Amino acid sequence: MDKIHLNQMSFYGFHGVFPEEKKLGQRFLVDLILETDLQKAGKSDDLHHSIDYGLVYQVTKQVVEGYSKNLVEAVAEEIAQSLLVRFDLLQACTVKVVKPDPPIPGHYQSVAVEIYREKNL
């Protein structure tokens, strides 16, 4: 299966289990891998045979900057399900949601979840 990558999309959301996360918010980074057949798009040079990256960004933004959730797992799941429903040509997707600055003690670059979901045919 062919793949479209959208990397390091940056959004501001209010997800987390701690009250300060829901009040102050924080930055989230999202990476997507979209699986679809791109041969027809490559041969025709027609966007109708591919997935519009701009629309993918907007769908992802609506989820991350939308209603507050406790877990980034829930954010990732909603992104995946929203994309699979919205884009007919999308067969499967990998969604990675990164919290660069979570309010937990320790030394690390970030915390993240990554999920893989397929369209139910």
Name the catalytic one among 22, 40, 99, 119.
99
Q: Is 5 helix (H, G, I), strand (E, B) or coil?
A: strand
**34: its two tokens:** 């979209």
What is the end-to-end Cα distance of the chain in Å, rounded? 16
**61: its two tokens:** 């933004």
Residue 15 burial by Cβ neighbours in a 10 Å radius (0-12, 13-18, 19+): buried
Is the Cα torsion angle 26, 114, 77, 34 positive or negative in sign?
A: positive
**99 a catalytic residue:** yes
Distance CA 72, CA 69 (A): 7
Distance CA 60, CA 11 (A): 9
Residues with a catalytic annotation lie at 99
